[in-house]
């Protein structure tokens, strides 16, 4: 295996939702040729628009120059065919938090990506990396690389090796995340929730249970944590920001792995997701949001 730490030049990103578009943006802004996949043209157009709007905001805020914007735009390509990932050095999967879906993606990537030492990474926040690696013929080159939303703003990534991840892949990915993407890297064992969500999700679920029981209204719960504990955002607003569907999926994964009551999703959370009230991206969660914020 080629153990060079600096030979990742072509990156593929599977998914162009909130997380995938952000990951694609930071890769392109880091000078990498970045190919972004979505399931169909409609989803791809929506994701491309989201990415372009984010880049435009970066220019408005002075984070990018017009020349930078042109360079980043030239580094981005889009596709609806995973076969186009054949020449990638690294593929980062950022599909919805569905285990069966992700396993299918990794199996396909294993078939289509030609480079024998290519790395595969998942942005999953809860699914064991070993399960994803086992769907390939090269589990030693599969890791977790969990970003945080909004990706261009929050510089943290959780790096998660599985029991099968080899040392060369581990070293190359850590160097890539820190030196190439400029992320702050923390390391977690391969267990559901990793570091951040193992701590965060019980807190969010406790706030949802408090609201569900009628103990306090949403705004008072959130203001208690913002004004009383110095948090930048209250737990219910944060759950809306993350997406209640994602919050539910992570909670279910944690509960399935550890069987501890603190990880059990409250019934209200499940009902809200079933109703399609999943937070900012739907316009309705614990709060109501303007339509423009959901794009």
* Residues with active-site annotation: 125, 146, 158, 197
CA 27 to chain centre: 14
What count of other Cβ atoms lies within 10 Å of the Cβ of residue 291? 7
Dihedral sign computed on CA atoms, order 240, 201, 199, 193: negative
Closest CA to 200 of 220, 169, 225, 217: 225
- Torsion angle of C-alpha atoms 205, 207, 209, 211, degrees rounded to 10: -150
What count of other Cβ atoms lies within 10 Å of the Cβ of residue 284? 18
In this structure, are residues 289 and 241 in contact, taking their beta carbons and an 8 Å threshold?
A: no
DSSP state, 176? I
Helix (H) or strand (E) run with residue 49 in it: helix 41-60
Question: How would you label 43-53 residue by residue, b for 16+ Cβ within 10 Å and e otherwise?
Answer: ebeebbebbee
Residue 32 to residue 108: CA distance in whole angstroms: 23
What is the 3-state composition of the chain as percent helix, strand, coil, each rounded to the nearest 5? 50, 15, 35
């Amino acid at each position: 295996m080629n153990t060079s730490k600096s030979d990742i030049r072509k990156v593929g990103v599977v998914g162009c939702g909130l997380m995938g578009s952000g990951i694609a943006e930071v890769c392109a802004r880091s000078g990498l040729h970045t190919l972004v996949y979505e399931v169909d043209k409609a989803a791809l157009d929506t994701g491309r628009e989201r990415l372009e709007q984010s880049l435009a905001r970066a220019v408005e805020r002075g984070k990018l120059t017009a020349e930078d914007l042109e360079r980043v735009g030239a580094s981005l390509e889009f596709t609806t065919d995973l076969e186009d990932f054949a020449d990638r050095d690294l593929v980062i999967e950022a599909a919805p938090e569905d285990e069966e879906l992700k396993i299918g993606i990794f199996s396909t990537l294993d078939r289509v990506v030609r480079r024998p030492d290519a790395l595969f990474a998942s942005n999953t926040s809860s699914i064991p990396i070993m399960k994803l690696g086992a769907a390939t013929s090269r589990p030693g080159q599969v890791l977790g690389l969990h970003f945080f939303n909004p990706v261009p703003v929050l510089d943290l990534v959780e790096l998660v090796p599985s029991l099968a991840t080899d040392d060369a892949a581990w070293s190359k990915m850590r160097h890539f995340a820190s030196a190439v993407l400029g992320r702050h890297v923390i390391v977690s064992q391969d267990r559901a929730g990793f570091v951040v969500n193992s701590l965060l999700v019980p807190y969010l679920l406790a706030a949802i249970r408090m609201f569900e029981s009628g103990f306090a209204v949403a705004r008072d719960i959130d203001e208690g944590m913002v004004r009383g504990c110095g948090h930048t955002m209250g737990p219910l607003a944060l759950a809306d920001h993350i997406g209640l569907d994602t919050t539910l999926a992570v909670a279910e994964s944690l509960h399935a792995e550890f069987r501890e009551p603190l990880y059990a999703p409250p019934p209200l959370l499940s009902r809200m997701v079933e109703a399609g009230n999943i937070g900012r991206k739907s316009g309705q969660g614990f709060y109501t949001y303007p339509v423009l914020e959901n794009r």
